[in-house]
């Protein structure tokens, strides 16, 4: 069984449990999500799907992705205030965001995940999710910049 089959079985089960009907449209939205390695927006998925599903609407895509987020199938990601992105990577990880091309890349940082929290943080309450957002300029953009200088 391929990993995509595994993912599809998982989503079928989760939708079943949640009493949500996995319509062909919803399934297509999920498959498109899986084929994206980056962190796509609802608009991006919509544009991709519109070619083969001309009747689909952005609203449907957005609502379906929001429901998938509630079911824990994918994660909604709010980065850089004006963008809502979605993430199929459910492992504990953080994000590096390029301020130039806006690309969002995954970072793993187990030392940070397992570190004891400073007292100033524990004093505020109990932390449930650790998610870091690092901002900078990605290598792709840095390389472009260097080329332009020559
Ligand atoms: Zn970049
Ligand atoms: Zn991610």
Closest ligand to residue 101's CA: 1
Q: 11 C-alpha to center of ligand 1: Å?
A: 32
Is the domain of 42 the same as that of 106?
no
pLDDT digit string (tens) for 50-66?
999 999 999 999 999 99
Tens-digit pLDDT profile for residues 82-139: 778 999 998 999 999 999 998 999 999 999 999 999 999 999 999 998 999 999 999 9
Question: Do 117 and 140 belong together in one domain?
Answer: yes
Separation of alpha carbons 146 and 150, rounded Å: 7
Say how many domains are in the chain. Answer: 2
Last residue of a domain, one of 64, 87, 110: 87
C-alpha 100 to ligand 1 mean position (Å):
5
Last residue of a domain, which of 67, 87, 107? 87
Q: How many residues does the chain have?
A: 150
Mark whether 14 and 74 lie in a shared domain.
yes
Q: Are residues 73 and 131 in the same domain?
A: no
* Sign of the torsion angle spanned by Cα atoms 66, 56, 83, 97: positive
Task: Confirm whether pTM is higher than 0.75.
Answer: yes
Assigned token pair, 56: 């689909």
């Amino acid at each position: 069984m391929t990993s995509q089959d595994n993912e599809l079985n998982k989503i079928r089960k989760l939708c079943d449990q949640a009493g949500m009907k996995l319509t062909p449209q919803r399934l297509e939205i999920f498959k498109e999500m899986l084929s994206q390695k980056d962190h796509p927006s609802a608009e991006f998925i919509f544009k991709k799907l519109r070619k083969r599903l001309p009747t689909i609407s952005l609203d449907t895509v957005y609502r379906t992705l929001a429901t998938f987020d509630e079911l824990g199938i994918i994660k909604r990601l709010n980065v850089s205030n004006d963008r809502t992105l979605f993430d199929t990577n459910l492992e504990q990880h953080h994000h590096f965001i390029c301020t130039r091309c806006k690309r969002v890349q995954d970072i793993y940082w187990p030392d940070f995940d397992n570190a004891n929290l400073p007292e100033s943080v524990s004093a505020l309450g109990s932390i449930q999710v650790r998610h870091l957002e690092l901002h900078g300029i990605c290598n792709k953009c840095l390389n472009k910049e260097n080329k332009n200088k020559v």
